[in-house]
Amino acid sequence: MSEISIHALLYSEAPLLVWPQFFLEGTWIDFDELYAPLEELVVSATHGFANDSESLFEAVRETPVDLLGKTCGRACAKPEHDLSRFVLEDKGFFDTRDEALERLGSFQRTLRGRLFEAFGDRKSG
């Protein structure tokens, strides 16, 4: 079995992404706007997130990574800036990452998650 087909068996079809927010200067800031407001990013970005050479967490520095549909309807936004179409379900807000994983489960605690940790090329979150 090739490495690609092994990874295809181990990856979750619906991964849980715990998207952080930060309380800075009296305001909650979504992680996608930590470096700049989305309005600025959509104007300056040359492309949308492509999931090829960088992770979501690396891309937010210069690329709109909009999982909440905040760029929808903005004249300056391109369709590739809005990634909300890939979000299958919004599980809500949690006070901590640990609370989210406790309530929603963690891929690491499943058999597929443990196999991914053993044979995958990166850690599962």
Q: Flag whether 45 is in a domain.
A: yes
Domain membership flag for residue 73: yes
**Which amino acid would we find at residue 105?**
G
Q: What is the pTM of this model?
A: 0.61
* Domain ranges, residue 63: 21-90
Render pLDDT for 78-122 as a digit per residue (tens, 0 to 9): 777 778 888 888 888 888 888 887 887 766 666 666 666 666 555
Q: Kindly report, residue by residue over 51-82, the tens digit of the pLDDT.
A: 788 888 888 888 888 888 888 776 666 777 77
CA 45 to chain centre: 18
Q: Is residue 58 part of a domain?
A: yes
Kindly state whether residue 28 falls inside one of the protein's structural domains: yes
Structural domain contains residue 100: no
24 by DSSP, 3-state: which? strand
Is residue 115 included in any domain, yes or no? no
Total domains, the chain? 1
In a domain, 98, yes or no: no
